[in-house]
A and B are shown apart, each in its own frame.
Chain A
């Protein structure tokens, strides 16, 4: 056996100063426990590869929860089963670190089944050491997902039955089916020979991270001497003769000769560049042109409703964003989620010279109805003396109320004549603005490109706005 296994690795603290109590020299592990053996192999490798400083050891919940008593590396203690997720976060934050996710079988194969699967599948640059001792050691010997058929545990007093608890879970085989893992091997800690072999696997798995930032996974069959109630050779024999029958050792996947190192480096960005990257730009507004509008007392509450696809929501955003460009207070609130299913959509828009309270419009001063169900639904909500603009090319009835002003605007027909049904909503924008004398038409025409962010359609949208305004003017 190599000297390193016998002497204490410098990766371990000389004195386990974080360990409570007087004894700072001995570990918390029972004699013969697989954790103690695997710790030594990992510590020795980190020392030999000269990466102790760069290493981050993640302790699970289980008997190895106090890994940080021993390893003089950066240490993080993780929630039960979540070490691979924690490892993902810390590795992405520090791409040059060497991350070790050290887990038991309850931790990795039961509660943390999903986290290990996905970390492996993403090929996170981490090395996983997985101690399969077929039991929940820490909590006193309950069944693990890896407990063997017939194995008596405190929660399987009649022995694990396939019928009730299912089959032992073979994590190495599962992980090996994924594309990203570079190296997956199951080893056992059963005698000098198998431990020497395990040593090689540990070193190889760490090398894959150190040299190529690859994901590697080593499962170690190990004895929980306390809960097996077997010591020394008897315990070792159980691993070799009983456990190994169900969990055959060996390499399950190895593409270490030929894999692309996945570096996850971050772009370096200067603070000054952020505004541009966040699409934040100064508004391009001619203050003089909007001045006479922003001095006006305005309080308009719109409800805009129709089928999804008619541009109901963008009608609202254009109106409100134009309002903002005239220095008004504005708000826009869409219907969302299930309300949107079945094809109807609506939004509330407020444009006001004073601070806006609720953004929700219950009683609009102006209703835009782009289809019949919208007219049916919202007609009664309009305030007395309010306005209803409805698309008379699609709606086959007139509003019934006589205390409002109804404007029959054939918006879809006008849009069709312009060559694109989709601009019906902009016809309505033009009409609203003309009717209410709300905003500067010139400013709307100038900024519609900016607001819509679709340079290609600017012309036809401008035309549509113009036609809507013209329709209102011709009404006299």
Chain B
């Protein structure tokens, strides 16, 4: 195991390549371009394909083609580009193609700006494209997790034959931290369903069409079953100072790093604050938050958007306890001081 000082956007590519990523198709957009740049450097070196596509639409459809052909493929973009990929992601989900999509979220709506926001939670977690589909969404908050999830995403994509998102933000992509580089322990399943241009695969079909209503309903039911298995087996989260917490701060991604600092300061002042951080946004740690709400008295959701995960937290708590909200938008990151003051106000 080696230790390396890496940028988030580079770590994710190193993780992916070690997990067998052998194809990358993308289109540049700040703050995700460095992922394409790192992929351009490393993926061909490792024996794979890198191609800068003519658009995000083309890129996701190349991903669709590569995944159809059995490649371990990824793409990365940010808000406007993810919007363009939406149709293709829906196709990948419908055709049950394993692939990895990274979104380094920037400020929106429209062209917005390139600061860090979390405003694409709904776009990414709730679908974004059309139809009854879900993608697994991993939410890293450190460079180590950018690397780890670069690997994990490929494992999960293959395990479930499903697109997997990594949702990060401008800061997590840009920052550098030490990363422990480990060998992946991954099973590489045989993809005998893929279309490879061989006699054995010449009866295979990749499609999302089911013309007969009953067939499409059955297909959708099968997909929902798969999603409920994910909800049973793939929930990941982190807790901090949670056991005796009177107020639980819920945050994901970069916001959780600030919350972590704020909670530590509050603890020094004798306030029993704790942090709960979903690492998977789908499947969302519903049960865990629900259980917490039977103990902790108050909740504060901190997000860099207009309150998107907030809805999921409220749904999990089912009105049992008050859920407060603190947010910043536009590329601003909440400060430790702001969060601390918000908590003090709630606890007064």
Chain A CB count within 10 A is highest, among B54, B199, B211, for B54
Residues of B contacting A268 in the complex (Cβ-Cβ under 8 angstroms): 47
Q: Is the CB of B170 within 8 A of A92?
A: no
A79 at the interface (CB under 8 A from B): yes
A145 at the interface (CB under 8 A from B): no
| A321–B179 alpha-carbon span in the complex (Å) | 11
| A78–B208 alpha-carbon span in the complex (Å) | 9
| A277–B17 alpha-carbon span in the complex (Å) | 10
Is the interface on chain A under 10, 10 to 19, 20 to 34, or 35 or more residues?
35 or more
A331 at the interface (CB under 8 A from B): yes
Q: Is the CB of A78 within 8 A of B64?
A: yes
Residues of A contacting B343 in the complex (Cβ-Cβ under 8 angstroms): none
Q: Which residue of B lies closest to A53 (CB)?
A: B199
* A79 partner, pick from B44, B88, B199, beta carbons under 8 A: B88
Q: Is the CB of B14 within 8 A of A280?
A: yes
Return the CB mask of B156-182 against A: 1 if under 8 Å, else 0: 000000000000001100111110010
Q: Is the CB of A77 within 8 A of B205?
A: yes
* B201 partner, pick from A74, A275, A338, beta carbons under 8 A: A74
Give the distance to chain A from B10, nearest Cβ to Cβ, in Å: 10
Q: Which residue of B lies closest to A273 (CB)?
A: B46
Binds B, one of A151-159, A249-257, A358-366, A384-392: A358-366
Q: Is the CB of B170 within 8 A of A274?
A: no
Give the distance to chain A from B138, nearest Cβ to Cβ, in Å: 19
B293 at the interface (CB under 8 A from A): no
Residues of A contacting B208 in the complex (Cβ-Cβ under 8 angstroms): 77
A147 at the interface (CB under 8 A from B): no
Q: Which residue of A lies closest to B87 (CB)?
A: A79
* A89 partner, pick from B4, B65, B113, B174, beta carbons under 8 A: B65
Residues of B contacting A89 in the complex (Cβ-Cβ under 8 angstroms): 23, 25, 61-69, 71, 73
Q: Is the CB of B206 within 8 A of A77?
A: yes
* B46 partner, pick from A76, A92, A269, beta carbons under 8 A: A269
Give the distance to chain B from A456, nearest Cβ to Cβ, in Å: 21
Besides A85-B62, A356-B177, 19 new A-B residue pairs in contact (Cβ under 8 A), listed by A number: A75-B204, A76-B206, A77-B206, A78-B61, A82-B61, A85-B58, A86-B61, A89-B63, A92-B66, A97-B196, A278-B18, A317-B176, A330-B178, A331-B176, A336-B31, A338-B113, A357-B261, A358-B254, A360-B171
Interface CB pairs A-B, < 8 A, 15: A20-B215, A72-B203, A78-B65, A82-B64, A82-B88, A90-B195, A90-B197, A92-B51, A274-B18, A283-B4, A324-B5, A330-B5, A334-B175, A337-B115, A357-B260
- 10 closest cross-chain pairs (CB), A and B: A97-B197, A89-B65, A357-B261, A93-B69, A89-B66, A74-B195, A86-B65, A85-B61, A82-B61, A77-B207
- Which B residues fall within an 8 A CB radius of A? 2-5, 14, 17-18, 22-23, 25, 30-31, 42, 44-49, 51, 53-55, 57-59, 61-71, 73, 87-88, 91, 95, 113-115, 170-171, 174-178, 181, 195-199, 201-209, 211-212, 215, 254, 257-262, 264, 333, 335-337
